[in-house]
Amino acid sequence: MNARIGWQNLRTSEFLDDGDYILITGTNFKDGRVDYSNIHYVEKERFEQDKKIQIQKGSILITKDGTLGKVAYVENLPRPATLNAGVFNVRVIDANKTDSRYLFHYLKAPFLLKYANEQSTGGTIKHLNQNVLVKFPVPIPELTEQEHIASLLETIDTIITVNQDK
């Protein structure tokens, strides 16, 4: 789990309307995915500044400032991408033990949001610290069961989306 740290913070004057390197912020989360329709970009130097916050397919993104605990799963990535401050980049270390789709679905369930609100710091604007988030307990069943759970939840999400569109 990694995030852009204080000295790396981007100023809005560095946000570009077009470019080769996507900048993902918490405002780009929509229905558990990254919405690329209103995205900003950054210069190559800012993208390359920290490999730990470069986004990959299968990355799980979690907001850590303001609106806590919003979660997005990166299914596709049209261009190389990095994060702005305020978002954690969570990656599965061993895909033979943990399915990233399962972890995403568990993190987007109400458990994380409740935990985040209880553990957050700050007055008006809440902050979720990494040292608190790493303590969030996640049950890890056998990999085949994780895959089955993730597939079932994705099917349910699809049914909900289709019915909402109607």
How far apart, in Å, are the Cα atoms of 99 and each of 1, 19, 36, 47, 165? 16, 32, 24, 27, 29
Q: Hey, how many other C-beta atoms are within 10 angstroms of the C-beta on 106?
A: 20
Q: Say which residues have a Cβ less than 8 Å from residue 145's Cβ, sequence separation at least 6.
A: none
pLDDT of the residue at 114: 84
Mean pLDDT on 7-16: 84
pTM of the model: 0.87
Record the tokens describing residue 124, joined without a space.
Answer: 């008006």
Record the tokens describing residue 64, joined without a space.
Answer: 């850590």
* pLDDT class of 60 with cuts at 50, 70, 90: very high
Q: Is the pLDDT of residue 7 over 60?
A: no
Provide the residue range defining the domain that includes 119: 2-165
Number of domains, the chain: 1
What is the domain-level CATH number for residue 156?
Answer: 3.90.220.20
